[in-house]
């Protein structure tokens, strides 16, 4: 009888222990996760602070007519901050249970550093020129139509839908609708979409005019990299993502400065992008998602992909 009581007591203690251990472990895991995310956020703030210092010291922004093209030291920065970038990427990958190979890690480092340079440079330009977000004119793009070819676009022009003073903006349709497909250079992409160009901010009543195109979100072509990249950009795991933007300044009729927002010849699914800085003559039309990161071009690098054609007021005519 005593033996039976002892066995029952031991079994009861064992069951209680089995119930309690997961509760303690879950609490410990939650605290460890919060600590990891706090550490990542601190590292991101430190990296962005160092990037801002470089942007200001090396004048990596457009401040006057004739500002020459400038490049930003992505690989140099990665080398000097490799340990912190590794810690950020490996921690985020562990939190999402995502396995990355060495190539994917290197790609993600380049993406997040280049993106930070782009946005910090754009913000510094506004600050140096005394332009405030709250003073911008804000326009919602007018949808003019969907084009599947140059012929379709010509039809829109002939229908007088693209008459001045409109800036016509052509966004890859899949950037909005989402798709798993291949671009014109053979690069795969698998994106959720919902990256609509939602509004355009402008500053200036005469030359120079500055335009900032603002998108609902931004999707990297690789879903695994996109999940980690979103956390770096947005600071959380929100499935809705967060806004992206691209900026350019029209200094005069023949001098448009793309501030780390020039796409060059890259196609939509190219993994890392360009974020080039270049001066071009005035163009009343632009391709605003030649590549997934919303760098801007004046030639179509994805002629096989349908485009949404939009228009906003364009003063520099």
Does the structure show a pLDDT above 80 at 29? no
Of 10-19, 145-154, 219-228, 301-310, where does mean pLDDT reach its minimum? 10-19
Is the separation of the CB atoms in 132 and 150 below 8 Å?
A: no
- Residue 114 belongs to some domain of the structure: no
- Residue 254 belongs to some domain of the structure: yes
Q: Which residue segment(s) compose the domain that 154 sits in?
A: 134-313
Residues 6+ away with beta carbon under 8 Å from 86: 105
pTM for this prediction: 0.88
Q: What is the structure's pLDDT at 306?
A: 95
Q: What is the structure's pLDDT at 240?
A: 73
Does the structure show a pLDDT above 90 at 15? no
Mean pLDDT, the chain, whole residue set: 88
| Mean pLDDT value across residues 177-203 | 97
- Residue 38 belongs to some domain of the structure: no
Q: Strand (E) positions, the chain?
A: 137-139, 142-147, 166-172, 179-182, 188-191, 197-203, 209-215, 244-252, 255-262, 276-280, 285-287, 307-313
- Residue 98 belongs to some domain of the structure: no
- Residue 216 belongs to some domain of the structure: yes
- Residue 12 belongs to some domain of the structure: no
- Residue 72 belongs to some domain of the structure: no
pLDDT digits (tens, 9 = 90+) for 99-115: 999 999 999 999 999 99
Q: What is the structure's pLDDT at 30?
A: 80
Q: What is the structure's pLDDT at 2?
A: 62
- Residue 111 belongs to some domain of the structure: no
| Mean pLDDT value across residues 61-87 | 86
pLDDT digits (tens, 9 = 90+) for 226-238: 999 999 999 887 7
Beta strands 188-191 and 197-203, pairing class: unpaired
Domain count, the chain: 1
Is the separation of the CB atoms in 20 and 26 below 8 Å?
A: no
């Amino acid at each position: 009888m005593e033996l039976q009581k002892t066995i029952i007591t031991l079994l009861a203690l064992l069951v209680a222990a089995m119930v309690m251990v997961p509760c303690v472990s879950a609490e410990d895991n939650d605290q460890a996760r919060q600590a990891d995310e706090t550490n990542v956020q601190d590292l991101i703030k430190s990296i962005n602070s160092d990037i801002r210092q470089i942007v200001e010291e090396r004048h990596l922004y457009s401040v006057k007519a004739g500002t020459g093209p400038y490049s930003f030291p992505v690989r140099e920065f990665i080398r000097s901050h490799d340990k912190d970038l590794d810690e950020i990427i490996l921690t985020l990958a562990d939190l999402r249970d995502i396995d990355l190979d060495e190539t994917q890690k290197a790609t993600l480092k380049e993406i997040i550093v280049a993106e930070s340079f782009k946005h910090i440079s754009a913000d510094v330009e506004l600050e140096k020129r005394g332009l405030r977000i709250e003073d911008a004119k804000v326009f919602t793009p007018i949808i003019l139509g969907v084009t599947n070819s140059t012929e379709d676009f010509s039809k829109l022009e002939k229908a007088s839908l693209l008459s001045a003073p409109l800036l016509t903006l052509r966004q890859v349709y899949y950037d909005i609708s989402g798709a798993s497909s291949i671009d014109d250079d053979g690069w795969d992409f698998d994106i959720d979409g919902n990256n609509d160009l939602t509004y355009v901010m402008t500053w200036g009543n005469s030359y120079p005019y500055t335009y900032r195109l603002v998108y609902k979100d931004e999707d990297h072509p690789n879903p695994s990299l996109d999940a980690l990249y979103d956390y770096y950009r947005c600071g959380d795991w929100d499935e809705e993502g967060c806004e992206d933007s691209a900026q350019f300044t029209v200094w005069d009729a023949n001098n448009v400065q793309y501030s780390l927002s020039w796409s060059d010849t890259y196609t939509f699914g190219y993994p890392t992008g360009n974020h080039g800085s270049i001066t071009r003559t005035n163009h009343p039309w632009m391709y605003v998602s030649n590549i997934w990161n919303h760098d801007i071009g004046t030639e179509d690098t994805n002629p096989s992909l349908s485009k949404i054609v939009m228009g906003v007021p364009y003063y520099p005519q």
